[in-house]
Amino acid sequence: MSYSNEHAELYDIVFLSRGKSWEKEAELLGQMIKSRNPAAASLLDVACGTGAHLEHFVKAFAHVEGVEPAEAMREEAEARLSGPSVHAGDMRTFDLGRTFDAVTCLGFAVGYMTSQDELDTAISRMAAHLSRDGVLIVEPWWSPERFIEGYVGGHMVHEPNRVISRITHSTRQGNATKMTIHFVVAEASGIREFSEVEVVTLFTDDEYTAAFERAGLDAERLPGPANHPGYLVGRRR
């Protein structure tokens, strides 16, 4: 997914208005990591987006970095963060030349992999950046049996001088979700609108587990909050 500048600018605003708390998520993930690796002091966030999680990971980890392929999202992250480095890179090919006590891949970004081979490659790249007792946490996209054909969603944000509408429509396209996202933004200069399409693969639990095993990791599935697919936690065998 290559986010436009318009989408990247509105991304955090919309999800914050919908009740998302990157601070609470970072705190939860930090607890999950340190319960498995109490000495964890460094963290890498793969596909870190606007850096909203990294902003809070710095409270629990002495050293954090991010990797983000979309230039527009990376620019938002760099503007937000004063300390952590955010590297340009694809989760299938990145190589930072060092390891971390924890690696995270959140926001369902791993679902942008289009095949089992790509999923295996991405998980292996993340595993290669883990230190000996490192912990990998991946937030997956929905599994095929939980996909709802024709699912629609919508949200409106009211600001003093701007109103933002975001609506979505999802259909199944083979083994993937094709989600059309449409924005309408009303502001003093007028009304503008734009659409983007995301294609996110509906990997099964077995496919995720296989990717972890091929990377030399044991996979543990943990439940998430309501209406959330949960988390996959990996540690070296």
Strands 42-46 and 100-105, sheet pairing? parallel
Show the tokens assigned to 160: 């003093």
Which run of H or E residues covers position 125? Answer: helix 116-128
* pLDDT tens for each residue of the chain, 237 residues long: 679 999 999 999 999 999 999 999 999 999 999 999 999 999 999 999 999 999 999 999 999 999 999 999 999 999 999 888 999 999 999 999 999 999 999 999 999 999 999 999 999 999 999 999 999 999 999 999 999 999 999 999 999 999 999 999 999 999 999 999 999 999 999 999 999 999 999 999 999 999 999 999 999 999 887 788 999 999 987
**In 3D, which of 142, 160, 159, 162 has the Cα closest to residue 151?**
142
Q: Which domains does the chain have, with CATH numbers?
A: 5-143+203-236 (3.40.50.150), 145-201 (2.20.130.10)
Whether residue 231 contacts residue 211, with contact meaning beta carbons closer than 8 Å, is answered with no
Contacting residues for 14 by C-beta, under 8 A, at least 6 apart: 155, 157, 164, 166
